[in-house]
Amino acid sequence: WVTKQGSHDVSVIDLATDRVIDTVAVGRSPAGVVASSSAGRVFVTNPESNDVHVIDMRTRKVVQTLAAGQAPVGIDASADGRHLFVADWYGGRLLHFRIGQDRVEPFDAIAVGKVPAGIAASADGSQAWVAERDDNRVALIDVAARRVISRVDVGEHPFALLLDEAGGRLYALNVFSNDVSVIDTAKRRVVATVPVGKEPY
């Protein structure tokens, strides 16, 4: 599932044949995408139309449109298929949606730092990491308590996040400092910095 900002749609690629098998129209300038096999749905953020489109994996049709703050970009879903998280770019919030059997319920909002970007959710959706891009740090959210419980300083302008929950590591891709911060999630501190190419996204 590949978002295409210029044509406002999503390409569906069959990995067995390496070819595009469908194109799904979504909102304006789609950016983030997460496919949840547990939920049977694909979720796409559309920052210019301020919403999230929900696609049924089986039919490859849009089945729901969710209001999502101001310019939603980052997105992730818990592995159990019950929780969806969206970064409200201009609103400075993490939006938490509950995924039901038939539809996604309206969000709860959790205040975070400046320009939240990438998100990495725990498998059960009880916690979520958020890249606070303009604060040069990542925040750990307790979802039930709806608050930030920890923050870790990283490189300049963290954007994308990847959580290796089993390995106890969070990886933050820093656009301006051209590196990856490796965070020990138990100790909640950076344990390594890996230089990469220019302006990584």
**Percent of the chain's residues with pLDDT above 90:** 98
pLDDT at 102 (0 to 100): 87
pLDDT at 3 (0 to 100): 98
DSSP string, 13-67: EETTTTEEEEEEE-SSS---EEEETTTTEEEEEETTTTEEEEEETTTTEEEEEEE
pLDDT at 91 (0 to 100): 96
Q: Which of 49, 13, 12 is CA-nearest to residue 29? A: 49
Q: Which of 143, 84, 66, 81 is CA-nearest to residue 112? A: 143
Phi, psi of 53 (to 5 degrees): -95, 140
8 Å CB contact between 50 and 71: yes
DSSP string, 69-81: SSSEEEEEE-TTS
Q: In whole numbers, what is the pLDDT of the chain averaged over residues?
A: 97
Q: What is the distance between the alpha carbons of residues 5 and 139, in angstroms, rounded to a whole number?
A: 28
Q: Indicate the SS3 state at residue 166.
A: coil
pLDDT at 154 (0 to 100): 98
Q: Over the stretch 72-120, which tens digit does the pLDDT of each residue have?
A: 999 999 999 999 999 999 999 999 999 998 899 988 999 999 999 999 9
pLDDT at 107 (0 to 100): 83
Amino acid at 191: V
User: Does the global pTM surpass 0.85?
Assistant: yes
Q: Over the stretch 14-60, which tens digit does the pLDDT of each residue have?
A: 999 999 999 999 999 999 999 999 999 999 999 999 999 999 999 99
Structure confidence at residue 158 as a pLDDT band (50, 70, 90): very high
pLDDT at 132 (0 to 100): 98
